């Protein structure tokens, strides 16, 4: 950290920024120490092993479906659903390794991260790290969180930014209809039309040859296993159907916790306040936990990014108590309500933009 050292504060200078809540910060540090004493930062390796095995079994089942039952419409569709499940669940698992929450040493986390995101998904670990770490540092902060880079060129996000955009008389899209065209250019398109191609540009432009090698192993494997059964055209049809289904799954789950929340320029608030205003939870259930990779506990995940996901529900009551003490809203909602809130928030921010845009 020496290269970042500007200097030392003189004794009479305040050592805490006025935009941050010192009492809340101190109490969160106490909570963090309590969490570590409770052993909630320690992973259950059996949990993650079983999770990986269920992904591998689904991957094998997808191929066996075509091999045993043939390539007619029903087996083809079932295979696509199984492979989409593999891709989505591998996405949640690589997220665990990327956050260094599975092994005590970073070396093993990085190695398994390369395997899961590279060999099982065909994507580069360095690309995910580059984007995701920025997101966690400043969630929903414009120009600092890459996850909201679709503002303003595709969507007007958040009440404040949307009004600001309208007052500036900027119109890149008909934002007052964004809650409608979201269904066209959002969930269906992100992976097959953007991520699928951008990841190759990323690794080549940045010379990430190790990542590229891992990615190639994925494409070699699926070509060798599926082209003999389906032919090239059938394989390409299957591949892009899987990316389409996975994209819908990925976008709805990852955006339900953030898009309806506070989005603004960086206000330099303390860690706890920054994370709570940008995140919300979805109620716990066996299905919700599995379907979202435990990202239904987005609040706890953002407060403790390296915590193993199977412990989120254990720390949640402690987080709720701290929120209640400081008058901070802790939001948790049903899964379908969380999905609907994405659309409602887009409709609201689009209307706010239009009102500001038309105002003389």
For residue range 299-324, list pLDDT tens digits in order: 999 999 999 999 999 999 999 999 99
Q: Assess whether pLDDT exceeds 90 at residue 17.
A: no
Residue 315 lies in a domain: yes
Residue 14 lies in a domain: no
Residue 8 lies in a domain: no
Instruction: For the chain, give percent helix, strand, coil, nearest 5.
Output: 70, 0, 30
In this prediction the pTM is 0.93
Residue 251 lies in a domain: yes
Q: Assess whether pLDDT exceeds 80 at residue 173.
A: yes
Residue 298 lies in a domain: yes
Neighbour-count burial of 260, counting CB atoms closer than 10 A to its CB (0-12 exposed, 13-18 middle, 19+ buried):
buried
CA distance 156 to 172: 9
**Residues found in the chain:** 360
Residue 12 lies in a domain: no
Tens digits of residue pLDDT in 194-239: 999 999 999 999 999 999 999 999 999 999 999 999 999 999 999 9
Counting the structural domains of the chain, the total is: 1
CA distance 143 to 157: 12
Q: Tell me the residue range of the domain where 222 lies.
A: 22-358
3-state secondary structure of 332: strand
Distances (CA, A) of 286 to 57, 290, 326: 20, 6, 31
Residue 224 lies in a domain: yes
Residue 13 lies in a domain: no
């Amino acid at each position: 950290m020496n290269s970042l050292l500007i200097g030392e504060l003189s004794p009479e200078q305040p050592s805490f920024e006025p935009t941050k809540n010192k009492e809340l910060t101190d109490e969160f540090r106490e909570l963090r120490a309590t969490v570590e004493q409770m052993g909630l930062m320690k992973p259950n390796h059996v949990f993650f092993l079983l999770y990986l095995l269920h992904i591998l079994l689904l991957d094998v089942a997808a191929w066996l479906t075509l091999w045993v039952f043939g390539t007619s419409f029903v087996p083809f569709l079932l295979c696509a659903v199984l492979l989409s499940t593999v891709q989505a669940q591998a996405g949640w698992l690589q997220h665990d390794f990327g956050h260094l929450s599975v092994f005590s040493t970073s070396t093993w986390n990085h190695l398994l991260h390369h395997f899961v995101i590279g060999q099982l998904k065909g994507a580069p670990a360095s690309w995910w790290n580059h984007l995701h770490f920025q997101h966690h540092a400043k969630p929903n902060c414009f120009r600092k969180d890459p996850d909201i880079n679709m503002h303003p060129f595709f969507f007007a996000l958040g009440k404040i930014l949307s009004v600001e955009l309208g007052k500036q008389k900027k119109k890149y899209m008909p934002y007052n209809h964004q809650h409608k065209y979201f269904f066209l250019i959002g969930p269906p398109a992100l992976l097959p039309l953007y991520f699928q191609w951008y990841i190759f540009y990323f690794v080549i432009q940045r010379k990430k040859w190790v990542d590229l090698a891992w990615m190639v192993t994925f494409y070699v494997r699926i070509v060798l296993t599926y082209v003999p059964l389906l032919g090239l055209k059938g394989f390409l049809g299957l591949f892009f159907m899987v990316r389409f289904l996975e994209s819908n799954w990925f976008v709805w789950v990852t955006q339900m916790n953030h898009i309806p929340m506070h989005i603004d320029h960086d206000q330099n608030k303390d860690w706890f306040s920054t994370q709570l205003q940008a995140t919300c939870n979805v109620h716990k259930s066996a299905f919700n936990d599995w379907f979202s990779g435990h990202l239904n506990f987005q609040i706890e995940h953002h407060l403790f990014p390296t915590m193993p996901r199977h412990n989120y529900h254990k720390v949640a009551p402690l987080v709720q108590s701290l929120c209640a003490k400081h008058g901070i809203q802790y939001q948790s909602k049903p899964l379908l309500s969380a999905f609907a809130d994405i659309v409602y928030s887009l409709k609201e921010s689009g209307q706010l933009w239009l009102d500001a845009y038309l105002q003389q």
